[in-house]
């Protein structure tokens, strides 16, 4: 049996929440209330005494009626995405297959929830259709208790709040959840949710949460440039340390026909029209049109104003002129055809390599993270996620129709270790085993859901129906890479984590660090970005392709100022300052 | 036919050139379908690169096996079939009735009616009001949402009306003298004579219904009643994502996994779903000859 | 029969002169009864939702009532923003350029193809070519775009052909000058066969006696095509032209969305793609509705104009 030490979960109690409130769901119950039956009453009295909204009063009243039959579980109706996963046999499995089939994973989730007195009623929509369905249903008036907010733009969200359709989640955990949950969201890791506070001081949605830990240090993972190490080895080249060496290596790949197909077609993929391509970070640039000046500063700027930007464009122009760039920015043809020398991905990934088609007898494909010094006094930066990271793409919200008290109990479950473990690793003895206190996923199984759990989190999380709670043990993750033989891939990651303070970093995503935009900010941003996004990605592309001249630099900057670049930075800055 | 053609022969060299030109046209249109076919038969890795030009690289029927076992696809097939049948019958009926009305000689309010038909061809209220209407009518999430709103076509009304104009007044007058009322004129004169144009309308409706998916995407949130094209689109679109834009590791891994397994499947799917229409088309072609010409002319 | 040439107008005049007799009113009632179900459908599904265009004049957010108390009326703000935008001129230029190319090639290709087919005597071969020609019509845009991307890549099929013709080897997808031609070629390829069906059937219905007579007069192949076949399909061409002119602002943005890159925005960004990036991706319904109203009005005006001209010149029209 092949085993893998899991990247995901080590149940470090101190990390998830306060020590006292921790432990399994059962013990948590006994700390907050004397008996499980009494717990509801306790929650109810808290609610009654602290009610501020009419909705809460109603819920309290509703609770009294259901108390006559305490065994009757509350139904929470969810509008969500029918997410799919591909198992290791290549079968595509949908969440609805789990729900309607005999999935042990789903049965466990359902029975856990039933213990909390909750039954989920799902309205699952195919992924490609979800945006349309949710937008149109909002237009017609939502009828659900909880929904996946993917595809609901910020303007519409603001309006849902204004119309009183979305319920303030913070009031729910305040009034209906147990102490540990409250603590998790207010002072624990979950407190990143508070960044999404609206002007009225409330939070209206929950994001998936990833807490990365490397020996006690909270650390994110890197998504940056990666190079074909097996090609470097084949040509006896060292890993490039400077951009000049990188240029030489990329050129050597072509001139020496490293993939051996007789054509000089080895190319690097670094998107011309954006700064988020790994190469721009060699020149110290942020990843987005608006970025932080450096990782630890609170000051926002734009890569266009940063020192390295001209050198970056000139370097890219060199690559372009030498025919070293992959110009097809979408599609994965070059990678699959064994032509892609450099691209951007997570430094710990191992899933791209199997998709590359190599001739027989070639060394195994191996993409390895690199960072190159441009050699002009500018320090390269590493694009890294925030250590406590909330994914801005997959948020869920609750409606005011929902039974707030039941949602409170649902939050208790969603913040529990029990849920985190089930979502990340599954069921002990079924999808994972514990060896020497370490969780090891079972990889070679005929059962589809076991296969899925060996590579993915449970299908109900992320872009599906429930938020994710991931505790990522970075060290275990690297150990597992080593164990699988990815030595070269592991090295730059290990070096970064071990010598964290000596690296210059940049934030992978700026928008996730900002407070929710106000209505006016939303409107201004989208007005500005409408033309500015087009302008800057086109300009960047044409400068690199030499179709526009670097001599007119000042006029380009002036154009961008006219289109509102400075105002956009100001808006982002104001939003960031509000999170403080 | 043969006689007519013999009359018009010219320089044989040019004739050969014309044949070659026609052959070339057939090639450039047929090749892509052939291309899709060989991709669907190639090993998945080669299909993913799309660089298979002459002959399948490797041979793999896996995609077709998966397709045949795909219960969702068969269901979608059946749904599409249902919509095609219903829409064709309904469109021909409703459009004929209005076209007949318009060709009635003494119609009161003709100008108004013409305007009434013309305006919607250029102006529409947009997606949201349409959706609200479907909601209010209770058609949301119901197969009727694919049938009732598609039960008429203003363009087809115009076509049928033009065709009806070619029917001589004398026939109508003769029928009237025999004591035929409004309904009898329709059933005894217009319906029998209108067969060619009905065939044309039927073909148009069949093809457009077969290829439509947009309304289904908006009005049918669940797969139960969704048509084939939406199912096809799902398979095609889900694999056209760009990996570098995915900002979440699980999603990136998933996209990479789908990349290979879907590459071949999507081509097999195209072959599978286009076949019925492609096979049926030469059969329909006959009916076009008469109807299409007459229907589109005003005289 | 003679006055029927002027159809609609003539009939109305006749009607107005008569006082409506009892029989006629009764018959009209019956006729309207037959039309009623369809007219109701049209009213319900075309006219009822039309009030939705008012969101072009307000700051609409999904979920809000169109005429609710909290609606923010903004007048012509969205129109001004669209027309006064930084890129409006470029969008208009690109849209019109691509449409005109489409008009020139996309419109003539089916006619030329039909004329070509007419010259093919071997009936089986003719049928085969014709059946083959409409196949691309059934291939989805996603697949077509994927194929074109692959074919125009640096070592793709089309690139290889162009290199053989002496063009420098390159990735044609990022070449701004090539984009309009790639776009036009793809569209023509996709629809010329289907479009030619109509012309083919018209040609086959032309009286063979006319050719016979021309032949006797010594007319050659080209003269026959020019003096008999073309006039024979004149009316269809006119009708088709009117409808095509109306759609001059609506280019196939589905294909462009899949195929364009920032490097070709300067020629490829059209009203459809711009409003997609802005409206659909950012949820700006009011803005996109305004852009939609703008294009509808122009389309209607163009069609109306083309119809007028065609009625005057060729005595053929849509209405």
Whole-number pLDDT of residue C222:
82
Determine how β-strand A432-435 pairs with β-strand A438-442: antiparallel
pLDDT confidence of B177, banded at 50, 70, 90?
confident
Among C75, C108, C134, the domain-final residue is C75
Whole-number pLDDT of residue B81:
92
Q: Report which of residues A522 and C311 the model is more confident about.
A: A522
Longest Cα–Cα distance in chain C: 79
Q: Return d(Cα A415, Cα A183) in angstroms, integer.
A: 10
Instruction: Count the helix, strand and coil residues of chain A and give each as a percent rounded to the nearest 5.
Output: 45, 15, 40
Q: What is the pLDDT of residues A406-420, one digit of tens each?
A: 999 999 999 998 999
Query: Residue A534 is nearest to which of C62, C87, C150, comparing CB atoms?
Result: C87
Please report, in tens digits, the pLDDT of each residue of chain C (319 residues total).
233 334 444 444 444 445 567 778 888 899 999 999 999 999 999 998 888 888 888 887 776 777 777 777 888 888 888 888 888 888 889 988 888 888 889 889 999 998 888 888 788 888 888 878 877 876 767 667 777 887 887 777 788 888 889 888 888 888 888 999 999 999 999 888 878 877 887 787 777 788 888 888 887 878 888 888 888 777 778 777 777 776 677 677 778 877 887 778 888 888 888 877 776 666 677 888 888 888 888 888 887 887 787 777 666 666 5
Q: Return d(Cα C293, Cα C88) in angstroms, integer.
A: 15
- For residues B232-246, average pLDDT: 56
Residues 6+ apart with CB under 8 A from B180: B188, B189
Residue C268 Cα, gap to closest chain A Cα (Å): 12
Q: Clarify whether residues C46 and C109 are in a common domain.
A: no
What is the tally of structural domains in chain C? 2
Q: Clarify whether residues C61 and C143 are in a common domain.
A: no
Contact partners of B by the rule of 3+ C-beta pairs under 8 A? A, C
Q: What is the pLDDT of residues B77-109, one digit of tens each?
A: 899 999 999 999 999 999 999 999 998 888 888
Whole-number pLDDT of residue A69:
52
Q: Clarify whether residues A521 and A379 are in a common domain.
A: yes
Ramachandran assignment for A260, one of left (phi > 0), alpha (psi -120 to 50 degrees), beta (any other): left
CB contact under 8 A, B238 and A391: no
- Select, from the ranges A482-486, A560-564, C127-131, the one with the highest average predicted confidence (pLDDT): A560-564
User: Is the pLDDT confidence value at B165 over 90?
Assistant: no
Give A-chain residues touching C85 at CB under 8 angstroms.
Answer: 530-531
State the alpha helices, DSSP H only, in A163-240: 169-176, 179-186, 229-234
List the single residue in A with minimal CA-CA distance to B236. Answer: A128
pLDDT confidence of A330, banded at 50, 70, 90?
low
Give A-chain residues touching C71 at CB under 8 angstroms.
Answer: none
CATH of the domain at A404: 3.40.190.10
Whole-number pLDDT of residue A110:
94
Residues 6+ apart with CB under 8 A from C102: C184, C187, C188, C251
User: Is the pLDDT confidence value at A42 over 60?
Assistant: no
Does some domain include residue A69?
A: yes
pLDDT confidence of A50, banded at 50, 70, 90?
very low
pLDDT confidence of B236, banded at 50, 70, 90?
low
Q: Return d(Cα C239, Cα B158) in angstroms, integer.
A: 12
The answer to whether residue A327 neighbours chain C at the CB level (below 8 Å) is yes
From residue B215, alpha-carbon distances to A132, B66, C136 in Å are 11, 27, 23
User: Is the pLDDT confidence value at B260 over 90?
Assistant: no
The answer to whether residue A359 neighbours chain B at the CB level (below 8 Å) is no
DSSP string of A479-548, one letter each residue: HHHHHTT-HHHHHHHHHHHHTGGGS-EEES-SGGGSPPPPHHHHHHHHHHHHHHHHHHHHHHHHHHTTSS
Query: Residue A351 is nearest to which of B222, B230, B257, comparing CB atoms?
Result: B257
Residue C258 Cα, gap to closest chain A Cα (Å): 9
Does some domain include residue C319?
A: no
Whole-number pLDDT of residue A237:
94
Q: Clarify whether residues C10 and C94 are in a common domain.
A: no
List the single residue in A with minimal CA-CA distance to C278. Answer: A530
Q: Clarify whether residues A494 and A464 are in a common domain.
A: no
Domain regions of chain B by residue span: 1-60, 66-296
Range of weakest confidence among A76-80, A549-553, C295-299: C295-299
Which long-range contacts link A490-493 to residues 24+ away (Cβ below 8 Å)?
A: A490/A348, A491/A368, A492/A347, A492/A368, A492/A369, A492/A370, A492/A371, A493/A222, A493/A347, A493/A348, A493/A369
Which long-range contacts link C11-20 to residues 24+ away (Cβ below 8 Å)?
A: C11/B105, C11/B110, C12/B110, C12/B111, C15/B106, C15/B107, C15/B108, C15/B110, C18/B106, C20/B106, C20/B108
Q: Clarify whether residues C110 and C63 are in a common domain.
A: no
Angle between helices A519-544 and A309-321 in degrees, nearest 10: 40
Q: Clarify whether residues A380 and A523 are in a common domain.
A: yes
Among C32, C58, C75, the domain-final residue is C75
Whole-number pLDDT of residue B176:
86
SS3 B8: coil
CB contact under 8 A, B221 and A133: yes
Q: Return d(Cα A182, Cα A197) in angstroms, integer.
A: 16
Q: Clarify whether residues C69 and C204 are in a common domain.
A: no
Residue A135 Cα, gap to closest chain C Cα (Å): 7
Q: What value does the mean pLDDT of chain A take?
A: 83
Q: Return d(Cα A447, Cα A291) in angstroms, integer.
A: 45
User: Is the pLDDT confidence value at A60 over 50?
Assistant: no
Q: What is the pLDDT of residues A284-296, one digit of tens each?
A: 999 989 998 888 8
Does some domain include residue A37?
A: no
Q: Clarify whether residues C196 and C150 are in a common domain.
A: yes
Report how many helices (DSSP H) and strands (DSSP E) chain A contains, helices first. 23, 22
A contact residues 53-92, partner B, Cβ 8 Å cutoff: 84-86, 90, 92
SS3 A561: helix
Q: What are the structure tokens assigned to B189, written together?
A: 């004169």
Question: Is residue C171 within 8 Å of A327, Cβ to Cβ?
Answer: yes
- For residues A38-58, average pLDDT: 39
Q: Is the dihedral of CA A26, A28, A31, A37 positive or negative?
A: negative
The answer to whether residue A328 neighbours chain B at the CB level (below 8 Å) is no
Determine how β-strand A146-148 pairs with β-strand A74-81: parallel
Give C-chain residues touching A152 at CB under 8 angstroms.
Answer: 283
Whose tokens are 């002119």? That residue is: C245
Q: Clarify whether residues C31 and C160 are in a common domain.
A: no
pLDDT confidence of A131, banded at 50, 70, 90?
confident
From residue A502, alpha-carbon distances to A13, A225, A298 in Å are 30, 19, 20
Residues 6+ apart with CB under 8 A from B2: none
Inter-chain CB pairs, A–B, below 8 Å: 109
The answer to whether residue A331 neighbours chain B at the CB level (below 8 Å) is yes
ipTM: 0.81
- Against a cut of 0.90, is the pTM above it? no
SS3 A6: coil
CB contact under 8 A, C138 and B274: yes
Domain that holds residue C52: 2-75
Strand partners, A206: A396
Whole-number pLDDT of residue C140:
66
Q: Clarify whether residues A358 and A245 are in a common domain.
A: yes
Q: Clarify whether residues C112 and C49 are in a common domain.
A: no
The answer to whether residue B110 neighbours chain A at the CB level (below 8 Å) is no
Q: Clarify whether residues A192 and A72 are in a common domain.
A: yes
The answer to whether residue C7 neighbours chain B at the CB level (below 8 Å) is yes
CB contact under 8 A, A541 and C261: yes
List the single residue in C with minimal CA-CA distance to A543. Answer: C263
Q: Clarify whether residues C85 and C199 are in a common domain.
A: yes
- Three-state SS string over A449-485 comes to HHHHHHHCCCCCCCCCCCCCEEEEEHHHHHHHHHHCC
Q: Does domain B66-296 have CATH number 1.10.3720.10?
A: yes
Q: Clarify whether residues C95 and C162 are in a common domain.
A: yes
Whose tokens are 């059933």? That residue is: B187
Does some domain include residue A281?
A: yes
Q: Clarify whether residues A266 and A380 are in a common domain.
A: yes
Residue among A425, A488, A468 at smallest CA distance from A7:
A425
Q: Return d(Cα C314, Cα C319) in angstroms, integer.
A: 13
Which long-range contacts link A294-303 to residues 24+ away (Cβ below 8 Å)?
A: A294/A381, A294/A504, A294/A505, A294/A506, A295/A381, A295/A384, A295/A504, A295/A505, A295/A506, A295/A507, A298/A576, A298/A577, A298/A580, A299/A573, A300/A510, A300/A569, A300/A572, A300/A573, A300/A576, A301/A569, A302/A565, A302/A569, A303/A275
CB contact under 8 A, A540 and C283: no
Residue C278 Cα, gap to closest chain A Cα (Å): 6
- Three-state SS string over A307-338 comes to CCHHHHHHHHHHHHHCCCECCCCCCCHHHHCC
DSSP string of chain C, one letter each residue: -GGGGGHHHHHHHHHHHSPPPHHHHHHHHHHHHHHHHHHHHHIIIIIGGGGGGGGGGB---TTS-TT-TT--B-TTHHHHHHHTSTTHHHHHHHHHHHHHHIIIIIHHHHHHHHHHHHT---HHHHHHHHHHHTGGGGS-HHHHHHHHHHHTSTTSHHHHHHHHTTPPP--GGG-TTTHHHHHHHHHHHHHHHHHHHHHHHHHHTS-HHHHHHHHHTT--HHHHIIIIIHHHHHHHHHHHHHHHHHTTT---HHHHHHH--GGGHHHH--HHHHHIIIIIHHT-HHHHHHHHHHHHHHHHHHHHHHHHHHHHHHS----
CB contact under 8 A, A153 and C153: no
Q: Clarify whether residues A366 and A418 are in a common domain.
A: no
Residue among A152, A104, A114 at smallest CA distance from A131:
A152
- Select, from the ranges A539-548, B194-203, C3-12, C141-150, the one with the highest average predicted confidence (pLDDT): A539-548
CB contact under 8 A, B244 and A343: yes
CB environment C144-177: b (16+ within 10 A), e (fewer): bbbbbbbbbbbbbbbbeebeeeeeeebbbbbbee
C contact residues 42-61, partner B, Cβ 8 Å cutoff: 42, 44-53, 55
pLDDT confidence of A30, banded at 50, 70, 90?
very low
Q: Clarify whether residues A402 and A370 are in a common domain.
A: no
What is the tally of structural domains in chain A? 2
Q: What is the pLDDT of residues A197-237, one digit of tens each?
A: 888 889 999 988 888 888 888 888 899 999 999 999 999 99
Q: Report which of residues B286 and C132 the model is more confident about.
A: C132
List the single residue in A with minimal CA-CA distance to B253. Answer: A351
Does some domain include residue A230?
A: yes
Whole-number pLDDT of residue A28:
33
Q: Return d(Cα B149, Cα A489) in angstroms, integer.
A: 57
Residue among A267, B236, B37 at smallest CA distance from C145:
B236
Q: Clarify whether residues C163 and C308 are in a common domain.
A: yes
Question: Is residue A225 within 8 Å of A281, Cβ to Cβ?
Answer: yes
CB contact under 8 A, C261 and A329: yes
Whole-number pLDDT of residue C43:
94
Q: What is the pLDDT of residues B43-64, one digit of tens each?
A: 776 776 666 777 887 787 877 8
User: In this prediction, what percent of chain A has a pLDDT beyond 70?
Assistant: 87
Domain that holds residue A204: 43-213+390-427+458-470
Residue among A189, A310, A326 at smallest CA distance from A270:
A326
CB contact under 8 A, C277 and A272: no
Q: Return d(Cα C229, Cα C252) in angstroms, integer.
A: 31
List the single residue in B with minimal CA-CA distance to A128. Answer: B234
List the single residue in A with minimal CA-CA distance to C171. Answer: A327
Residue A140 Cα, gap to closest chain B Cα (Å): 6
Q: Clarify whether residues C52 and C164 are in a common domain.
A: no
Q: Phi and psi at residue C169, in whole multiples of 5°?
A: -65, 130
Give A-chain residues touching B265 at CB under 8 angstroms.
Answer: none
Question: Is residue B200 within 8 Å of B159, Cβ to Cβ?
Answer: yes
User: Is the pLDDT confidence value at A529 over 70?
Assistant: yes
From residue C70, alpha-carbon distances to B133, C59, C61 in Å are 22, 10, 11
Q: Which of A351, A477, A509, A510 to mutate to test the interface with B (most CBs of B within 10 A)?
A: A351
């Amino acid at each position: 049996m092949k085993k893998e030490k899991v990247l995901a979960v080590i149940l470090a109690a101190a990390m998830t929440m306060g020590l006292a409130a921790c432990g399994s769901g059962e013990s948590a119950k006994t700390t907050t209330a004397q008996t499980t039956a009494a717990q509801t009453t306790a929650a109810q009295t808290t609610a009654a005494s602290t009610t501020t909204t009419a909705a809460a009063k109603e819920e309290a009243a509703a609770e009294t009626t259901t108390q006559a039959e305490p065994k009757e579980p509350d139904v929470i109706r969810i509008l969500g995405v029918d997410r799919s996963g591909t198992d290791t046999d290549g079968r595509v499995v949908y969440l609805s297959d789990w729900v309607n089939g005999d999935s042990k994973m789903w049965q466990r989730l359902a029975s856990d929830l039933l213990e909390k007195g909750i039954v989920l009623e799902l309205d699952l929509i195919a992924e490609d259709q979800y945006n349309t369905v949710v937008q149109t249903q909002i237009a017609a008036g939502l009828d659900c208790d909880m929904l996946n907010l993917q595809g609901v733009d910020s303007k519409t969200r603001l309006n849902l709040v204004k119309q009183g359709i979305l319920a303030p989640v913070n009031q729910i955990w305040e009034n209906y959840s147990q102490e540990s949950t409250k603590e998790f969201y207010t002072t624990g890791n979950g407190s990143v949710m508070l960044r999404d506070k609206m002007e009225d001081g409330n939070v209206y949605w929950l994001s998936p949460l990833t807490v990365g830990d490397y020996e006690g240090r909270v650390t994110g993972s890197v998504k940056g440039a990666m190079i074909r190490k097996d090609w470097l080895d084949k040509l006896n080249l060292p890993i490039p340390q400077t951009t000049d060496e990188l240029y030489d290596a990329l050129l050597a790949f072509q001139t020496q026909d490293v993939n051996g197909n007789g054509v000089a077609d080895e190319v690097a993929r670094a998107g011309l029209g954006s700064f988020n391509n790994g190469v721009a970070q060699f020149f110290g640039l942020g990843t987005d049109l608006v970025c932080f000046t450096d990782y630890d500063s609170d000051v926002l700027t734009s890569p266009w104003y940063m020192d390295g930007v001209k050198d970056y464009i000139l370097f890219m122009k060199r690559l372009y002129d030498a025919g070293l760039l992959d110009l097809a920015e979408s599609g994965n043809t070059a990678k699959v055809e064994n032509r892609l020398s450099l691209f951007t991905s997570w430094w710990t990934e191992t899933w791209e390599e199997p998709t590359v088609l190599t001739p027989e007898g070639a060394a195994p494909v191996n993409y390895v993270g690199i960072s190159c010094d441009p050699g002009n006094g500018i320090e390269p930066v590493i694009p890294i996620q925030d250590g406590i990271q909330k994914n801005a793409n997959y948020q869920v919200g609750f409606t005011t129709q929902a039974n707030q008290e039941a949602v409170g109990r649902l939050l208790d479950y969603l913040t529990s270790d029990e849920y985190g473990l089930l979502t990340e690793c599954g069921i002990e003895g079924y999808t994972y085993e514990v060896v020497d206190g370490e969780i090891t996923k079972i990889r070679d199984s005929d059962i589809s859901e076991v296969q899925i759990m060996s590579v993915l989190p449970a299908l109900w999380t992320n872009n599906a129906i429930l938020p994710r709670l991931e505790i990522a043990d970075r060290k275990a993750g690297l150990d597992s890479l080593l164990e699988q033989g990815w030595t070269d891939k592991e090295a730059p990651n290990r070096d970064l984590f071990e010598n964290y303070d000596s690296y210059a970093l940049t934030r992978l995503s700026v928008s996730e660090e900002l407070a929710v935009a106000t209505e006016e900010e939303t409107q201004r941003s989208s007005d500005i970005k409408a033309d500015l996004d087009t302008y800057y990605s086109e300009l960047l592309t044409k400068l690199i392709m030499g179709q526009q001249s670097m001599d007119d630099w000042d006029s380009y900057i002036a154009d961008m100022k006219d289109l509102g670049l400075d105002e956009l930075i100001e808006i982002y800055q104001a939003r960031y300052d509000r999170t403080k | 036919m043969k006689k007519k053609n013999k009359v018009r022969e010219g320089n044989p060299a040019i004739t050969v050139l014309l044949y070659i030109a026609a052959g070339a046209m057939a090639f450039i249109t047929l090749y892509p379908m052939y291309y899709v076919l060989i991709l669907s038969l190639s090993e998945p890795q080669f299909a993913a690169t799309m660089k298979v030009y002459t002959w399948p690289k490797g041979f793999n029927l896996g995609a077709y096996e998966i397709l045949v076992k795909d219960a969702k696809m068969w269901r979608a097939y059946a749904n599409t079939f249902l919509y095609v049948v219903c829409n064709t019958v309904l469109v021909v009926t409703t459009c004929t009735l209005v076209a007949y009305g318009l060709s009635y000689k003494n119609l009161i309010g003709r100008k108004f009616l013409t305007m009434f038909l013309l305006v919607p061809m250029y102006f529409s209220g947009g997606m949201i009001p349409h959706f609200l209407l479907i909601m209010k009518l209770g058609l949301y999430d119901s197969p009727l949402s694919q049938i009732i709103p598609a039960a008429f076509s203003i363009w087809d009304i115009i076509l049928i009306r033009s065709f009806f104009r070619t029917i001589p007044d004398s026939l109508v007058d003769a029928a009237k003298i025999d004591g035929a009322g409004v309904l009898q004129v329709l059933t005894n004169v217009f319906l029998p004579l209108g067969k060619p144009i009905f065939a044309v309308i039927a073909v148009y409706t069949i093809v457009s219904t077969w290829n439509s998916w947009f309304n289904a995407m908006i009005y049918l949130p669940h797969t139960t009643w969704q048509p084939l094209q939406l199912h096809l689109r799902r398979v095609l679109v889900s694999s056209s994502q760009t990996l570098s834009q995915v900002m979440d590791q699980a999603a990136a891994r998933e996209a990479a996994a789908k990349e290979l397994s879907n590459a071949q499947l999507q081509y097999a799917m195209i072959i599978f779903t286009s076949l019925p229409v492609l096979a049926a088309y030469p059969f329909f072609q006959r009916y076009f000859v008469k109807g299409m010409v007459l229907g589109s002319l005003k005289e | 029969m003679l006055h029927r040439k002027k159809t609609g107008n003539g009939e109305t005049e006749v009607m107005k002169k008569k006082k409506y007799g009892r029989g006629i009113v009764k018959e009209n009632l019956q006729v309207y009864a037959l039309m009623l179900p369809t007219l109701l459908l049209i009213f319900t599904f075309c006219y009822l939702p039309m009030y939705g265009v008012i969101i072009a004049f307000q700051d609409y957010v999904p979920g809000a009532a169109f005429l609710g108390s909290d609606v923010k009326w903004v007048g012509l703000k969205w129109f001004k923003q669209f027309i006064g935008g930084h890129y409006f001129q470029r969008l208009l230029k690109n849209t019109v350029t691509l449409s005109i190319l489409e008009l020139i090639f996309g419109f003539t290709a089916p006619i030329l193809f039909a004329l070509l087919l007419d010259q093919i005597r071997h009936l089986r071969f003719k049928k085969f070519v014709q059946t083959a020609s409409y196949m691309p019509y059934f291939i989805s845009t996603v697949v077509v775009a994927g194929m074109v991307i692959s074919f125009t890549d640096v070592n793709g099929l089309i690139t290889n052909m162009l290199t053989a013709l002496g063009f420098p080897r390159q990735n044609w997808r990022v070449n701004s000058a090539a984009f309009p031609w790639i776009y036009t070629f793809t569209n023509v390829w996709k629809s010329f066969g289907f479009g030619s069906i109509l012309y083919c059937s018209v040609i086959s219905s032309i009286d063979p006696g006319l050719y016979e007579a021309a032949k006797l007069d010594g007319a050659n192949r080209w003269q026959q095509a020019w003096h008999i076949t073309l006039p024979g399909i004149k009316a269809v061409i006119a009708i088709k032209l009117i409808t095509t002119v109306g759609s001059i602002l609506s280019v196939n943005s589905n294909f462009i969305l899949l195929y364009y890159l920032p490097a070709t925005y300067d020629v490829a960004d059209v009203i459809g793609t711009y409003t997609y990036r802005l409206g659909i991706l950012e949820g700006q319904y009011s803005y996109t509705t305004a852009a939609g109203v703008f294009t509808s009005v122009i389309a209607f005006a163009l069609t109306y104009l083309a119809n007028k001209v065609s009625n005057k010149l060729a005595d053929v029209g849509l209405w």
